[in-house]
Each structure stands twice: as C-alpha cells, then as structure tokens.
C-alpha cells in the first residue's frame, strides 16, 4: 500500500509525513543553536558579494535548476520579497552572482520565517479544525515552502552564499553557550559535529540540512519506489519519533 501511495500519489504521502511529524519539525526550529543562525541571517540585509570557489556535485546542480523552476511557480503566492534577478536568471549553473546575492539571502530568510510560521499555525488548527479542507490548505503551505527551502539548501548556491557571509555567522563558542541543554538538541548537535571542527559556514549548512530532513526522506522514498518497483518498505521506519503529542483527528485526515 505504501509503495502504491508513493508511486501514484506522493503528495498524499507528504501530507501524512508533515501531519505526523510537524511537532518534531517545530521542535528543531526552536533549538537555541538553530535560532542563533537564524538571528544572524536576519540581521544581514545587504550582502557584499565576493567570488567563492565551490565545485558543485551533479545533484547540487540539478537542485539549483529545480529551485529556480519551483521559485517561478511559488513567488507570486508565497513570498513577500521581490526576486526579479533570480526570476530573470537564465543560467541555472550560476544562480549566485553580484546581482542576485542579496535577493538570494533575503529569500532564504523569508523561507525560514515562513516555514516556522506555517508549522506553528498548524497547531491551533489541529486542536479545533473547522474542516478537512482547512487542514489540507495549511499542509499545502508547509509543503510548498518546505519544498522550495529543501531545493535551496540542497543546491550549490547556498554553499557559496554562506561562505560569502561567513563572518556574520555565530562561531562555535557562541553556539555552545546558546545551547538550551535539551537532550534532543544536544544529541543532534553531537551527531552533526562528530568531533569535527567545522568552518562556520559548513556548520550552518549542516543545520539547514537538518531542518529539511523530513522533505529529504520523502524524496528518498519516492526515488526508491520509482527505481525498485518490487522493493518493500518496512512501515516501522515510518513511525514518527518524539514528540508524540499527535492529534488523532489530524493523523486520520493525513491518512485519508
């Protein structure tokens, strides 16, 4: 059943993942360490461009191209910031230039803000929904913004951008001080750091990747099913982890 759902209706499966895991996603967004990165990004309103060498992988190039394509569809309804240079860019292989760098940065901040707003807004809706349509509309907002954010984070332009603004990012000592002592946060920080002393921009990339991990998982499962039609997926791997304060009605809607 899961294989058929992923193969024929991936959007419905995405509803299920977001509906059952959104509390976990909110928890990560509220990690003190991640908030430190977000605050640093928000303070910067104008980017001074500098050329940064970064050799993108094939998948990163593909994500850059998909990001531009998705942006064309999303900008009118989802985003407040104007991105004329990004929208007019005709070279997916180089979407981070002197004309685009500030737009790219403001768009990143906008997406981070909106994913947080849309996820948080789902909480009161799931407590007292007026209809299934109301829940689906909110889930659609989360999916559309999350998809665009994932493509940005998994592309190459974000790596060049964070190298350009590396000086404004918080250093490791500040991040450790900002730690809330939350066990989940400390555990995920340890797994990301793994004894490495990363440059600030690379540490920021890893935290951004953590934010979109649920959207990564959806795409991984879809690719698996599309290339292994006879393969099986263990349903136990789809059981959401803590926090488990899920609403039975919301889960039922997502599964319907």
83-104: per-residue pLDDT in tens?
788 877 667 678 899 989 999 9
127-162: per-residue pLDDT in tens?
888 898 999 999 999 999 999 999 999 999 999 999
Domain that residue 13 falls in = 2-255
Residue 163, SS3?
helix
What share of the chain in percent tops pLDDT 70?
A: 71
How many domains is the chain built from? 1
pLDDT of residue 143: 93
Parts of the chain with a pLDDT under 70: 1-8, 75-81, 89-90, 92, 172-183, 185-186, 188-196, 225-256
Distance CA 225, CA 6 (A): 7
HSE value, Cβ hemisphere, 13 Å, CA-based, for 114: 25
- Listed as own residue / partner, the contacts of 79-83 with beta carbons closer than 8 Å and 24 or more positions apart are 79/107, 79/110, 79/111, 79/114, 80/110, 81/106, 81/107, 81/110, 83/107
């Amino acid at each position: 059943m899961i294989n058929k759902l992923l193969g024929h209706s991936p959007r419905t499966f995405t509803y299920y993942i977001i509906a059952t895991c959104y509390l976990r996603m909110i928890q990560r967004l509220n990690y003190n360490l991640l908030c430190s990165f977000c605050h640093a990004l928000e303070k910067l309103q104008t980017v001074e461009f500098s050329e940064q060498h970064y050799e993108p992988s094939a998948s990163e190039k593909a994500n850059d191209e998909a990001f531009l394509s998705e942006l064309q569809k999303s900008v009118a309804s989802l985003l407040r910031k104007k991105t004329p240079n990004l929208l007019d860019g005709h070279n997916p292989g180089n979407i981070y230039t002197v004309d685009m760098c500030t737009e790219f940065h403001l768009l990143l901040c906008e997406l981070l803000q909106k994913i947080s707003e849309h996820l948080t807004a789902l909480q009161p809706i799931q407590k007292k929904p007026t209809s299934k349509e109301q829940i689906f509309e909110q889930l659609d907002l989360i999916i559309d913004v999350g998809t665009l954010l994932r493509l940005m984070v998994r592309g190459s332009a974000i790596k060049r951008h964070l190298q350009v603004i590396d000086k404004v990012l918080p250093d490791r000592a500040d991040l450790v001080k900002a730690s809330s002592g939350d066990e989940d946060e400390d555990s995920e920080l340890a797994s990301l750091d793994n004894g490495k002393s990363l440059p600030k921009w690379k540490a920021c990339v890893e935290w951004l990747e953590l934010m979109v991990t649920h959207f990564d998982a959806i795409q991984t499962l879809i690719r698996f099913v599309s290339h292994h039609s006879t393969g099986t997926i263990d349903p136990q791997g789809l059981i959401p982890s803590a926090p488990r304060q899920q609403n039975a009605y919301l889960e039922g809607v997502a599964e319907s």
